[in-house]
Amino acid sequence: MTDAADLTATALLAAYRDGSLSPVEAAEAVLARIDRDDPKINAFCLVDAEGALAAARASAERWRRGATLGPLDGVPVSIKDVLLTRGWPTLRGSRVIDPAGPWDEDAPSVARLREQGAVFVGKTTTPEYAWKGVTDSPLTGVTRNPWDPSRTPGGSSGGAAAAVAAGMAPLALGTDGGGSVRIPAAFTGTFTLKPTYGRIPHHPASPFGTLAHVGPMTTSVADAALLLDAVCAPDARDWSSLPPPAVPFTVSGGPADLTGLRVAFSPDLGFASVDPEVAASVAAAAEAFAELGAEVERADPGFADPVDDFEALWFAGAAKVVEHLPPDERARLDPGLQEVCEQGARLSAVAYLTATARRMELGRIMGLFHERHDLLLTPTLPIAAFEAGAEVPAGSGARRWTGWTPFTYPFNMTQQPAASLPCGFTADGLPIGLQVVGARHADALVMRACRAFEEARPWTHRRPTL
């Protein structure tokens, strides 16, 4: 019999409906998986077994009475520890935040899940203040990849991705300011979407500004659609939140046949260096889109690497995060975070606005690009997962995490929807990710294309073994 911890949310809900499984059994299964495997990967910084079981029992009673609160009633979910969660501390991987709180407010996405009766299992690890593309922090230590615990799961939503991949809850909420759901999704063989900015409300506002998005992390496209439908409602606390989609993601999939879809395949964006194994796997994925009927052609968007402008915006945001801290508290921060905060604090207003102007130009370029191409395919990352506990791969010559993530941060700058889905494995058995990018507000199209690829090249049966 399949362990309930390995079931997707979609499968769990079907089992709840036919009575073959209860929310209590599902919660017990994921909690048992956490007890067994989390000591090896450190995906959780907080587990509330008692609270999860109480919520699961309440959900089971609602299912018995036919009075469920919403489509996710009874489904286990984890929350990245940068999103406010009522009753639990949100420490953001930092030793400088007081655990005493008060912690009396939910972030918008968390509130929507609570209203629907989702079972909150715990909070997942993040680098301090979610500042980098791997997951380790002074507070929680190193988080590891379930496919190979000597490797990183990526970041900054590395704990969320590792938890989903290892069967420690089928749904997770993560955040993405420069790739932070897509990087770990690629490294752990899971699915994610960084939606159009404002599609999922965010509160409190991120100090990194309009680079930061909230996104679902799951093992399947169908599960991500369920989670998106739950959390895409507007929230008055976020002035930039969008109205709900006209058609729910769970019913907007469309045919698996992608005939007529204009798809650009850019293996390197015109400037990135890509590992040959990754390049071959992503090229094969692009061929699969053609087999599904899409008109696929090689095309680069036509912009140079915007890393300097991204770093100006990102490092200024980091400086804003810690501006209230006295020197003795700043000395307790992750040393890398201290460095980028100092760099960001030295930026002038003119330099920041110059980076903003270049960001707007990048958005113009991509807007025109999507008049010719409905979607853009790229690698999610140019490499597979590397050594855990390091910000950059050994011997790479990169100084910061942005040196090995050239495909992710450009699309935070443009606020476009961008998904990462598994498209293969290296010879060492490490997952490889394909990135699917759409025009702003084309989230449903991105999800439709990902669902078609998932049906043609299924991956959900592949699970890591710890």
Euclidean distance between CA atoms 300 and 278, whole angstroms: 18
180 is catalytic: yes
SS3 call for 74: coil
Asked if residues 192 and 420 have their Cβ atoms less than 8 Å apart, the reply is yes
Among 22, 59, 80, 266, the active-site one is: 80
Nearest CA-CA partner of 244 in 75, 437, 443, 69? 443
Per the residue annotation, which of 180, 206, 220, 281 is the catalytic one? 180
Alpha-carbon distance 193 to 235, whole Å?
Answer: 20
Q: Is 273 a catalytic residue?
A: no
Tokens of 335: 């040393």
Pairing of strands 191-194, 262-265: unpaired
Residue pair 317/424 in contact (Cβ under 8 Å)? The answer is no
Q: Tell which residue, 382, 207, 402, has the closest CA to residue 306.
A: 402
Q: Which of 156, 206, 281, 420 is catalytic?
A: 156
Write the burial class of residue 399 (CB in 10 Å: 0-12 exposed, 13-18 middle, 19+ buried).
exposed
395 burial via Cβ count (<10 Å: 0-12, 13-18, 19+): exposed
Distance of alpha carbon 128 from alpha carbon 136, whole angstroms: 8
Instruction: Name the DSSP letter for residue 298.
Output: E
Would you report the helix, strand and coil content of the chain in percent, each value rounded to 5? 40, 15, 45
Of 288, 445, 291, 451, which is closest to residue 375 (Cα–Cα)?
445
Which residues form the catalytic set?
A: 80, 156, 180
